[in-house]
Each structure stands twice: as C-alpha cells, then as structure tokens.
Copies of this chain bind each other. A is one copy, B any other.
Amino acid sequence: MVWMESPDSLEALAFGRPDHGWRRRWFVVMFEADTTAGRLFDIVLLLLVSASVLVVLLETVQGLAQPYAGLFLALEWVFTLLFTAEYVARLTCVQRPLRYAGSFFGLVDLAAVVPMYLATLVPGLHVLIDIRVLRMLRAFRILKLTEYMHEYGHLGGALYASRRKILVFLSAVAMLVVVLGTVMYVVEGPGNGFTSIPVAIYWAITTMTTVGFGDITPKTNLGRAVSSIVMLLGWGILAVPTGIVTAEMTSRRLWGGPSRRCGSCGNEVHAAEARYCHRCGTVLG
C-alpha cells in the first residue's frame, strides 16, 4: 500500500522512514503525528507512561506498598513488556536503527525497560529500588508529543541563543555564593550551624534563591546583617530589572518615549517630543 506523500518530519530525516509497507505504516504511527492513528498512539502512550510513573510513585508510600505489592509487581511487568515491545517495534521500522538507539529518546526508552530485567538478574540487592526509579525518566517521553515539541523546541532555542548570557549570569551567582558563604562561615562559625564552608555555601544558595528553609539561620548580629545583604541581592536581582522594565514601558506609554536627562541642569524630561529643557531652557541633545 502506497502511503500519501507527507512532508519530511525531523524523525523521517534523522532515522530514515521506509517508503512502503507495514514498516512505513508503523513508522508513521509511532514517530509522526499527522494521522489520526499517529495521534491516537501518542495519547495511549502518554496514558501508559503516566500510569507507570504513578505505580513507581505509589510503591514508595508505606501504607500502600505491602497490601498491593503483588498488583504493583504485576503492573510493572505489564508496562515493561509493553514498552519493550514498543522499543523493538521502533528499532524494526526505521531504516537506521542505530541512529535511533543512540538518540536522546532512544536512550530514554531503553532506560525505561532495562531496570526491571536487571532487577531479575541481580536479586536481593537494596539498590534494586533505586534502579527501578529510573523508569521515572519515562516521564520525559511526554516531551515527544510532536505537536508540543515545537513549543519545547522554541523554548529550548531561546535558551540556546542566550547561552553565553546565561553562563555569565550563573557564574557570577556561583562566585557570589562562594564568597558570601565563606564570609558567613567566618562570621557565624560551626557552633551556629555553619559547620563547614560547603554547608555555608548551601545556606547562601538557600538564602539567595529566597527559598529560606530555616534549617540553618544566623544567630549573631553581624551574621544577620550579612544575611540581609544576601537576601536583598537575591530578591533584588528579580525586583530591580522588573521595576526598570516597567518604568520604561510606562514611560513609553504615558509620554511617548523614555525620559531623558538635560545635559545642563540635570533635570529629568519626560515628554518625548520636548526639544528644550523646561527648567533651564537648553536645547536637548
């Protein structure tokens, strides 16, 4: 059966979409979302992934772990087998299976099924619980809903374009918390909860990001003064730019443009169309 020509999606180009046959039908359903079947597959997958994530979640709730242990284990196996079948199907219907296996989603899909098999091979280790929670990564498969991929791509693109500015900003924050954390370690000391510089840096991050757990708090007056600086920095980094941007926009809205300062008398001129300073009469630059 020849499928109608559809434009080449990212997946078609990257992994290789077959030209005809059941392999093409499967590819279109599993990797693309143009057709009704494709969209239906995506929704069913989303539901299965959410359900499997929910099971991992509930297994850790003490009140539920014992009574439903059998049910949870059975469900885990059902999900694992379904996802394994899906993984094998994906590998089969692309032209370049290694490309898919090495891609981000290929790895996530593999990590979603391997833990259960590992747990069977290496029984009795405490770490089994830890391995199983890797299946939480299946949550990232929700990102694959192609319709929304564009939105994520858009978001990711914006972040990538500004990567330099982000790196600079984060390194400035890193230096601040290292230096301020060290200051607090020296000022407060281990007796007051600041047991080492790394712990003091953790406190500095807690305070600068305005989270403020309260597990470690300054006890001395100087410590509280330094804390105030950290708090005002962390909050100010949000508040000052927000206020400046608003002032600019309001200026533009009320007076037709940002305010200017007269070179002669330092007076602030708001009216955008003004040509002379209303205070000293000098021509405005």
Please list the residues of chain A having a beta carbon within 8 angstroms of any beta carbon in chain B: 7, 53, 56-58, 60-62, 129-130, 133, 136-137, 139-140, 142-143, 147-148, 150-152, 154-155, 157-158, 161-162, 164-173, 175, 178-179, 182, 185-186, 190, 195-199, 201-202, 205-215, 217, 221, 224-225, 227-228, 231-232, 234-251, 253-254, 258-259, 266-268, 270, 279
Contact = CB atoms under 8 A, between A and B. Distances in A.
A225 B199 CA distance: 10
Contact of A161 (B170, B208, B209, B254): B254
Nearest to A278: B7
B234 A209 contact: yes
Given A206-B227, A211-B234, A214-B214, 8 more contacts: A7-B279, A60-B197, A62-B196, A140-B175, A150-B267, A166-B240, A198-B221, A213-B214
Q: Which of A182, A185, A268 has the most CB of B within 10 A?
A: A182
A137 B250 contact: no
19 contacts: A56-B182, A60-B198, A62-B196, A133-B182, A133-B185, A133-B186, A139-B179, A151-B164, A155-B247, A158-B251, A161-B250, A162-B240, A205-B232, A206-B212, A209-B231, A210-B211, A211-B234, A212-B214, A245-B245
Contacts of A246: 158, 241, 244-245
- Considering residues A211, A245, A270, which has the most beta carbons from chain B within 10 angstroms of its beta carbon? A211
A197 B57 CA distance: 5
A168 B197 contact: no
A147 B261 CA distance: 12
